[in-house]
């Protein structure tokens, strides 16, 4: 039977071994994704390049040094920009606006997070501003503009929450009990106010979309269509107030009096 100290040492060695194996796995996967990226055609497979570029950045993020992962996320963001704005326009991605903006949102979040971890708030703020300006133009369908406004609100909200998180982390490490340095001056209120603005526009746009939709007329039309379809079938069971067939081909309408 192993003593407590001996068992603890073995557990620590096993933990270090597993960590080393995990690092080797992520390193091999990052190399594989790089090889796939280099073998793809930019003319016809740019979306796959974005996919594998992101995978490469994700695998590198598990390394102790975050700088390579940050550089790769920035490269992924640039690849996505090239795909969305290929040829100076983006009609070919109209059906994929929401998908592409979801990817851009995630990559931007990763970039801002790593920049804040390195204490570089100015670059993180510049990245957010550039991100919002770029994708503010990718509106998508006009009848779903409220979804675009909600997306814009989330960009500011997530950045504000990131700043608050890192301020709290720095404060917990400071002997003074509050954040010191550059992040202490972060005006998260600016981003929360911007988020509130876009959420307000989202609510107004959603209300306008609902007012343009007439559910009563659509329900009546659907009822008429259903009635016509029921009348096409013979031998249906008789029911009060419903449409039924008499089995001989003649369609009759039953009433409560019947």
HSE (side-chain half, CA atoms, 13 Å) at 132: 21
Confidence of residue 42 (pLDDT cuts 50, 70, 90): confident
pLDDT at 250: 41
**Residue 22: pLDDT above 80?**
yes
Distance of alpha carbon 118 from alpha carbon 137, whole angstroms: 30
What's the pLDDT band for 29 if we cut at 50, 70, 90? confident
Give tens-digit pLDDT for 148-198: 999 999 999 999 999 888 777 766 655 544 444 544 445 688 888 999 999
pLDDT by residue (tens digit) across 48-94? 888 889 999 998 888 878 899 999 999 999 999 888 876 554 555 56
Q: Note the pLDDT of residue 242.
A: 45
**Please, what is the average pLDDT of the chain?**
76
Q: How large is the average pLDDT for residues 199-227?
A: 72
Residue 18 has pLDDT above 80, yes or no: yes
**∠ CA 226-231-235, rounded to 5°:** 125
What are the residues whose beta carbons fall under 8 Å from the beta carbon of 198, sequence distance 6 or more?
149, 150, 152, 153, 156
Counting Cα atoms < 13 Å in the Cβ hemisphere of 131 gives: 30
């Amino acid at each position: 039977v192993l003593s407590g100290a001996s068992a603890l040492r073995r557990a620590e060695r096993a933990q270090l071994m597993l960590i080393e194996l995990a690092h080797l796995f992520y390193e091999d996967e990052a190399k594989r994704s790089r090889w796939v990226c280099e073998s793809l055609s930019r003319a016809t497979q740019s979306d796959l390049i974005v996919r594998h570029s992101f995978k490469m950045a994700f695998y590198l993020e598990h390394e102790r040094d975050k700088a390579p992962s940050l550089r790769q996320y920035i490269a992924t963001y640039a690849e996505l920009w090239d795909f969305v704005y290929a040829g100076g326009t983006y009609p070919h991605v109209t059906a994929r606006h929401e998908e592409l903006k979801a990817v851009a949102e995630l990559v931007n979040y990763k970039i801002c997070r790593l920049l804040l971890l390195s204490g570089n708030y100015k670059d993180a703020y510049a990245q957010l501003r550039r991100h919002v300006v770029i994708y503010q133009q990718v509106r998508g369908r006009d009848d779903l503009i409220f979804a675009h406004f909600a997306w814009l609100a989330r960009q500011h909200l997530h950045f504000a929450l990131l700043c608050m998180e890192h301020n709290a982390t720095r404060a917990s490490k400071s002997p003074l009990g509050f954040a010191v340095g550059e992040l202490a001056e972060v005006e998260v209120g600016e981003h929360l106010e911007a988020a509130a603005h876009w959420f307000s526009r989202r609510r107004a746009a959603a209300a306008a979309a609902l007012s343009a939709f007439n559910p009563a007329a659509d329900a009546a039309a659907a009822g008429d269509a259903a009635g016509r379809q029921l009348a096409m079938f013979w031998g249906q069971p008789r029911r009060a107030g419903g449409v039924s067939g008499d089995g001989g081909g003649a369609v009759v309408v039953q009433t409560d009096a019947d």
